[in-house]
Amino acid sequence: MKIRKLYKSEKTVISFEIFPPDCEEKFSRLNNEITVLSSYTPAFFSLTCGASGKKNSYSKNILERLNTHVKTDIMPHFTCISCSKSEIDSRIEFLKSQKIENILALRGDFPENTNEICKEFCHANELVEYLKTKTDFSIAVAGYPEGHIESPSIKKDIENLKKKIDAGADAIFTQMFFINNKFFSYLENLENAGINVPVIAGIMPVISAKQLDKMTQLARITVPSALKDKIQTHAADKNYIKNLGIEFSTAQCKELLENKIKGLHFFTLNRAYSTSKILDNIL
């Protein structure tokens, strides 16, 4: 179902992010994880497309194979910073051939090798605009409750987000956040800026100290000090951290549900365990 229709539902929509595995062994493990996650009847899986703006031909192949095996809709992520217009055109044709209905349109992070930057599409709003002229995809875009890392202020970032919505985006998927009040005040700021599309909360269950460190270095994400302290004290105890992550995200999601948010999108990191435990606790 197209997301522009999906989020009209009164009920909070559940969806999962997965990423393309880089070998057959991981692909087959992912299939098992997807089987577990599918039992929670998500509305769709979103499939990332190569971090750091790097091109990833394997993800095309993965999409084709998942699309055959997974019964749930897939929303591919679609980055543009390293792509020429003709590469974008051929990806569009491929996605149409796969009967894809929804995509998450992104600029992507800058590649390490700046020669890979194409400059044909410099920002996600340009990609949204282009996709609207060429396709009937329902288009989602990224939003940052604490501001994008390159942005001088949340206000400026929201002005730029509005360009994506004005270009025709149907929904906003947020960066992960750990402090609900930051999300609630973001919703208020968006409304004040005249942005009225559904905003879907990005939830990342913490599974290890290392993973959290990596994420918070790449983006503007505040970790509450009580959570940070517990993680630092017990960093070596993997089970403790995993259970702490489940407990924290459960409480976070409960409060979001009480506030009738439109959607919860779980960054699963291709692992079903934590996300499924959280869903067992909240559904």
Is 64 labeled as catalytic in the residue annotation? no
In the complex, least distance from residue 69 CB atom to ligand FAD, rounded to whole angstroms: 21
Residue among 161 and 244 whose Cβ is closer to ligand FAD: 161
Q: Which residues pair with 139 in a beta bridge?
A: 103
**62 token code pair:** 């993965």
* Cα–Cα–Cα angle for 4, 5, 8, rounded to 5 degrees: 100
Q: Is 166 in the site for ligand FAD (CB under 6 A)?
A: no
Q: Scan residues 28-47 and list those touching ligand FAD (CB under 6 A).
A: none
Q: Which of 12, 15, 138, 175 binds ligand FAD (CB under 6 A)?
A: 175
Exactly one of 135, 160, 211, 216 binds ligand FAD (CB under 6 A); which one?
160
The piece of 20-28, 92-100, 119-127, 240-248 that touches ligand FAD (CB under 6 A) is 119-127
Residues contacting 89, CB < 8 A, separation 6+: 134
Site residues for ligand FAD, window 76-95 (CB under 6 A)? Answer: 77, 79
Options 10, 17, 93, 188, the catalytic residue: 17
Cβ–Cβ < 8 Å for 244, 181: no
Type of residue at 13: V
113 touches ligand FAD by CB under 6 A: no
Task: Give the DSSP letter of residue 116.
Answer: G
**Among positions 103, 124, 195, 231, the unique one binding ligand FAD when judged by CB under 6 A:** 124
Q: Which is nearer to ligand FAD, 122 or 283 (CB)?
A: 122
Q: Does 245 bind ligand FAD (CB under 6 A)?
A: no
Q: What is the rounded distance in angstroms from the CA atom of residue 170 to the CA atom of residue 199?
A: 10
Which residue, among 75, 69, 21, has the nearest Cα to 43 in the 3D structure?
A: 75
Q: Which residue has the tokens 């009480």?
A: 258
CB of 243 to ligand FAD, least distance (A): 26
Is 189 an interacting residue with respect to ligand FAD (CB under 6 A)? no
- Which pair of tokens denotes residue 134? 């060429």
DSSP for 13-65, please give it. Answer: EEEEEE---SSHHHHHHHHHHHHHHHTT--SEEEE---GGG---HHHHHHHHH
Of 118-126, 181-189, 228-236, 242-250, the window that binds ligand FAD (rule: CB under 6 A) is: 118-126
Select the residue interacting with ligand FAD from 2, 55, 132, 163 (CB under 6 A).
163
Six-digit token string for 74: 């897939």
Interface with ligand FAD (CB under 6 A), residue from 202, 205, 245, 263:
202
- Asked whether position 151 contacts ligand FAD by CB under 6 A, the answer is yes
| Size of the chain in residues | 283
Any residues with CB less than 8 A from the CB of 250 and at least 6 apart, and which? 277, 278, 281, 282
Which residues does the annotation mark as catalytic? 17
Q: Which residues bind ligand FAD (CB under 6 A)?
A: 48-51, 53, 77, 79, 104, 106-109, 123-125, 142, 148, 150-151, 157, 160, 163-164, 173, 175, 202
